[in-house]
Structure formats: C-alpha cells, structure tokens
Amino acid sequence: MHSKLVIGISSSALFDLSESDRVFRESGLKAYSEYQRSNEDTFLSRGVAFPLVKKFLHLNSLLGDKDRVEVILLSRNTADTGLRVFKSIEHHQLPIVRAAFTGGTAPFRYMHPFRCQLFLSTNAGDVREALANGIAAASILPSPKNITPSETLHFAFDGDAVLFSDEAERIYQEQGLDAFVTSEKNAADKPLTGGPFKPFLSELHQLQSELSKEISPIRTALVTARSAPAHERVIKTLRAWEIRIDESLFLGGMNKASFLQAYGADVFFDDQAAHCESASTVVPAGHVPHGITNE
C-alpha cells in the first residue's frame, strides 16, 4: 500500500485574510459575514503558506500519482463565509477539494478523521490544540515571498522538542550546557523518545523509501544547535527508528538562518520562537509551541 501525505491548512495561512480579520476585530461577526459575502468574487491574495502548499501539491505531478499528497482546508469560517476561500482556491488553480468549516470552533477534531499528518496555521491556539491531540503542527511566520526554484521539496527540522522529545532540552534549560553534554554522552546508546514531528518525518521517509534516492522529490535535513559529543545520541536514535535524514547539520549554537538558506529549505520547524524569527528572514519557518521552552 502506498503512503499518503496529508497536510491540513488554515484559510488564514493559505490566503491573506488580514483585511477580513480587521473587519471582524473592529466591527464583529455580522459585519465580517457581510464583508465576505459582498467580496465573494474578489479573489484573496496568497498567504504566508501559499508557496509551500503549491509546491507540496506539485509533488503529485512529479510522482505521477494525483493521490499521493493532499492538502485539506481546515477553516474557522462557516461554509457561507468560506465560499470566498473556495472560490479563491479555484482561481489559483489549487487542487484542494476537501474542507472542514467549523463556524468558529477549533478544527483539531477533524484532523484525525482526515488523517492529517501536519497542520499549518497562523492561529497559535489552534496549533497548540493540534499538538496536544497528537498532530504535528506549527504556526507559520511571515517570510520571504520567494520559494526555492528547485522542484525538490526541502524540509528542515530542529531536533529537541520537534523530532525528538524535550527530555534532553529540559536538562539543558534546568542544569546548563555542561550537564546536558554529560547526560547526552552517557545516554549515547539510549534512543531519544519521539517528539511531535516524528510521525510526519516517518511518513516522509516512507514515501522516500518507495522512490529512487537519486530522483526523490523530497529531501529532509536535521538542523540542530547540538555539536559533538551530543551528536552521537541523535544519530543512533534515527538509526534505531530506521528513519533516513538526507542532511544533518550540527551547528554548536551558531545561527541557523544562513545554513537554512544554503540548504534551500522550503520550510523549517523549530520549537524556539527566536530561532524561527531569525530563520523566517530567509526561508519559510514554522514555530512548534511544544516542550519546556514554550511552557
């Protein structure tokens, strides 16, 4: 059975709804509903996650199978106010056909039935709820409009509290760098437990494993502040998981932005807001509000 990648996307991440949101905040729900209806045939412009979504959907063409990857719209709109969103999807020629319009309630309830492996949104509360319910999720930050010209989709992940649990990060935050290094060296042969993005990485790996490594349209990278000797536990953890990472950057605390730009990341996921803000100046970045740094 072929693997399938499914991403859930909020309407505010896919399209620029800043003006609609201003109407809602300043004048309330009724005015917002009237505004959306009166502008139904005014197509929405691209949002912060639009380039990533378009490139993600293009994987189907590269794979020669229209059903291997899917994007599902998860919107707090009603179907009535959300009609403008669907018309904009059609205008931009995005093959998105499934949606849940939740009428102001949290969308996480429908992520498992849709089999979403990743949820992207600009609503931090919805992202936290998705994470709490076992879905890899991130708040997408404003980033450069350009996307890497390569047809290959480049995913980049931080390690601790993203791919891995925050068990090691807790030692670092509570006891300092020396204690962290000692602990990781002593636990080098003990695999880390999985973090919120392990299942998504596993799905990427499953898809990659069905394709030739030389022509795979997906590449993955671990971009971590770790350095030797704390690298060994990470390598052995991925080995124990039997998951392939194409590139691994152990930066020893160096700023990640220039490395992500050199890698050509289409999206970078990190649990630390400051790292995401720095990265978002050069590549699309998603904040994962998980672990001790977000408590």
Q: Are strands 99-101 and 69-75 parallel, antiparallel or unpaired?
A: parallel
What pTM was estimated for this model as a whole?
A: 0.93
- The confidence score (pLDDT) of residue 210 equals 78
Q: Is the pLDDT of residue 38 over 80?
A: yes
Are 128 and 39 within one domain? yes
> Which residues are catalytic, by number?
158
Last residue of a domain, one of 140, 172, 205: 140
pLDDT band at 214 (very low <50, low <70, confident <90, very high): confident
Question: CA separation (Å) from 179 to 9, 36, 174?
Answer: 40, 55, 9
Residue the block writes with tokens 């990190």: 270
- The confidence score (pLDDT) of residue 284 equals 93
Are 14 and 136 within one domain? yes
- The confidence score (pLDDT) of residue 215 equals 74
- The confidence score (pLDDT) of residue 145 equals 65
- The confidence score (pLDDT) of residue 2 equals 63
Residue 252, domain member (yes or no): yes
Residue 146, domain member (yes or no): no
Q: Is the pLDDT of residue 46 over 60?
A: yes
Are 35 and 127 within one domain? yes
Which DSSP state fits 162?
A: T
Are 135 and 157 within one domain? no
Question: The domain that contains 203 carries what CATH number?
Answer: 3.40.50.1000
Count of domains forming the chain: 2
Last residue of a domain, one of 93, 109, 140: 140
Last residue of a domain, one of 113, 140, 167: 140
Are 134 and 192 within one domain? no
Are 62 and 185 within one domain? no
Strands of 99-101's sheet in order across: 99-101, 69-75, 5-9, 118-121, 136-140, 285-287, 267-270, 153-157, 218-224, 247-250
Are 164 and 285 within one domain? yes
**% the chain with pLDDT above 90:** 82
Whole-angstrom distance, CA of residue 241 vs CA of residue 193 = 10
Whole-angstrom distance, CA of residue 295 vs CA of residue 279 = 22
Q: Is the pLDDT of residue 1 over 80?
A: no
pLDDT band at 12 (very low <50, low <70, confident <90, very high): very high
- Domain range for 90 is 5-140
